[in-house]
Amino acid sequence: MPITFIEDKKIFKLDTCSTSYIFCVEDGEFLVSLYYGKKLPDTNFTGYIFRDYFVSFNPNSPDVKDRYFSPDLAPLEYSGFGAGDFRKSAAAIRNKDGNIVTDFRYVSHEICSGKPKLKGLPATYAEENEATTLYVTTEDRTTGARAILQYTVFEDLPVMTRSVLLENASDAVMDVEKVYSASVALPDMDYDFLHLYGNWAAERHLERRPLARGQQSISSARGSSSHHHNPFAALVRHGADEDHGDVYGFNLVYSSNFDITADCDFYECTRINMGINPDGFTWHLNPGETFQTPEAVMVYTDAGIGEMSRIFHRLYREHLIRGKWKNEKRPLLINSWEAAFFDFDTEKLVSFAAQAKELGFEMLVMDDGWFGKRNEETNSLGDWYVNENKLVGGIGELIRRVKALGMKFGMWFEPEMISPDSDLYRAHPDWCIHVPNRTRSIARTQYVIDMSRQDVRDNIFGQICSILDNYDVDYIKWDFNRNITEAGSALLEKEQGKEIFHRFVLGTYELMDRLLTRFPDLLLENCSGGGGRFDPGTLYFSPQIWTSDNTEALQRLPIQFGTSYCYPASTMGAHVSLPHSMDELVTKGNVALWGTFGYELDPGKLSEEFKDVVKKQVEEYHLTYDLIHYGDLYRIISPFDNPYHCAWSFVSPDKSAMHFTHVCMQYHPVMKRIIRMKGLDENKMYRCRETGEVYSGALLMNAGINVSKFPRDAGQSFTLYFTEEK
């Protein structure tokens, strides 16, 4: 059994294919963590709870026989606030007496096959024979608050997920002021804290620094996961690298305010908590009501950071992304934004489509500017009806002409926003996020619409359906171009005021789910000023997300490398924009292949020479689609480590093919470059398409190959494609 309860020792043992997670029920019904790491056969963990001798500043519990046991020292599995543990707690609930002392103790447990859905929230999924789930019911005996700790282990991956269902089992109201999805205890702090930071057009750069005593955290309070910090972090053993060493990876399946904190104490023990950001959050629970936390994903490997990434990639490709486009090949698109911005009409778009078709593109996407009176960014968000002054004859005529060319058709929406200059805002000024008696902050000349309200969501859904029900639309780009300020809703009671951020994202999830339920063939791509909401919660609804508004190839390299630490290539929206030189076009294409691949340009501005290169890029896209979308990524040379050049490869699951890419960021005078490949089969022979040479996998990985003769000036790049020689 993947999950067992050893009755005589009161030990829970959770085993994936290669990892074990172990905790126990101690005297006083305390849940205490024992081990998380490489898979173990053992069940004897005598002495693992002990941390140090009891002193008066580490209070003990009269419920525990061992006088040296203190909640302040023990590796508690899910610690409450104010009951003897002074470290960062996992939960704090204000009770009817007005205090927030919270103390959860074990009551019962249940082990089930499969993995249940989380009500209203995205989460990974599994068939009944692919996962096993443990429910551990805990209770605060004084207040009647219950926390049901949910653990799921996957059969075929070293992955465990966790979440918490809070229940008010008392006869009085409660206010949840903090509730994390997971808390993990490790017995030392010999790790680096690795995370992804950034800004607009510079998302998900890499930060790695040693843990220190005290707290280190990343978070968002912006109403989205944000450009600035991604809800991903890893604890990486000192000295571990891409291919070797212990790595614990953590990711939150959530698209709003989050917090991931590593708390290291005097005894050099580490506790990592992850979940909803408690700043600005409270949830009012009436008797009998429940609150479900988002899902936390946990990965452990002793084979380095690269293997951690590949585990996340496989998990999300197989157990998070859903629907038709999970495995079906997605169309090669051209987006009108960088080609025309707001300046287009039917004839221009049809011309784009006709020229794109000749180059091998398969779908035209009409971006911002098609609705209301939208000729610039200051108006019309919320008025999702066609501007027939631009699209003469309406959207139906445009789609008919595009489809007649053999192209698919997509369009842009920003459903969570409203312009002050819009018919919708004039009719419903209370529909934007706001609080009374405060000026409404504005960004990009727009407000955020109140997605916590059912009437608002119904209106937006009806407007979108009026188009999708009547016209043959294949794709929607769903954008989100500002963060939430003055967070409040006209419909929430005063005691619910701090629920708005969570209610907002639940409303967004509900609207996306309703849209996909009604239109199951629709390809949805999310965007938030580029990659401002690139998280697994969003991926549950859209199999791809626009990675960044920055389409400059060399600047994209750290963005894509950073994104790949947790998210697979099949999810990374990546396009080729208008180049200034042949080298730039080639490199933009090579970089964009590491992703969904597409174009953001006016094909009429391409010379015939450039068009020939684009056609070759399209051929390469089709040749390598399965390899890049479903293969294993190996980061070979990182731009975070080397300022001159970087390299990566994709290897097919059966190791029969490899696509290798090398990019020069700066010229380097060293002529000889030997690069060792990764992930191949040592016993197989591989033919290089570009040279015709045949090499063993052993040679490619151990001796490497000399790439000195390939392009190596700044901005230049090349690819090598290897296939198994039978």
E-strand ranges in 628-703 read 632-637, 645-651, 657-664, 674-675, 685-688, 694-696
Question: Which DSSP symbol is given to 118?
Answer: B
According to DSSP H, which parts of 530-670 are helical?
Answer: 536-539, 553-563, 582-592, 608-630
Among 620, 565, 564, CA closest to 588: 620
Alpha-carbon dihedral 95, 99, 101, 106, rounded to 10 degrees: -10
Cα separation, 24 vs 128, whole angstroms: 26
Q: How far apart are CA 391 and CA 103, in angstroms?
A: 62
Report which DSSP code applies to 431. Answer: G
Is beta strand 105-113 parallel, antiparallel or unpaired with respect to 131-139?
antiparallel
Find out whether 697 and 681 touch, Cβ atoms under 8 Å. yes
Catalytic residue among 15, 140, 450, 549: 549
Alpha-helical (H) ranges within 541-607 are 553-563, 582-592
Beta bridge partners of residue 413, listed in sequence order:
478
**Encoding tokens for residue 428?**
């419903």
Residue 546: partners with Cβ closer than 8 Å, 6 or more residues away: 477, 525, 526, 527, 528, 530, 531, 573
549 labelled catalytic = yes
Whether 479 is catalytic is yes
3-state secondary structure 302-339: CEHHHHHHHHHHHHHHHHCCCCHHHCCCCCCEEECHHH
Element (H, E) at 235: strand 229-237
DSSP 70-115: -TTTS-BSSPBSSSS--S--SEEEE-TTS------EEEEEEEEES-
Q: What is the 3-state secondary structure (H, E, C) of 688-699?
A: ECCCCCEEEHHH
| Whether the Cβ atoms of residue 234 and residue 517 lie closer than 8 Å to each other | no
Cβ(164)–Cβ(78) below 8 Å? yes
Active-site annotation holder among 259, 479, 535, 632: 479
Residue labelled with tokens 């219950």: 146
Please name every residue paired with 233 in a beta bridge, in sequence order, or none if there are none.
195, 250
Give the separation between CA 726 and CA 721, rounded to whole angstroms: 16
What's the alpha-carbon Rg for the chain, to the nearest Å? 27
| N-term to C-term CA, the chain | 41
Check the CA dihedral 627-631-633-634 and report its sign. negative
Contact 590, 238 (CB under 8 A): no
Beta pairing partners, 722: 658, 688
Residues forming the active site? 479, 549
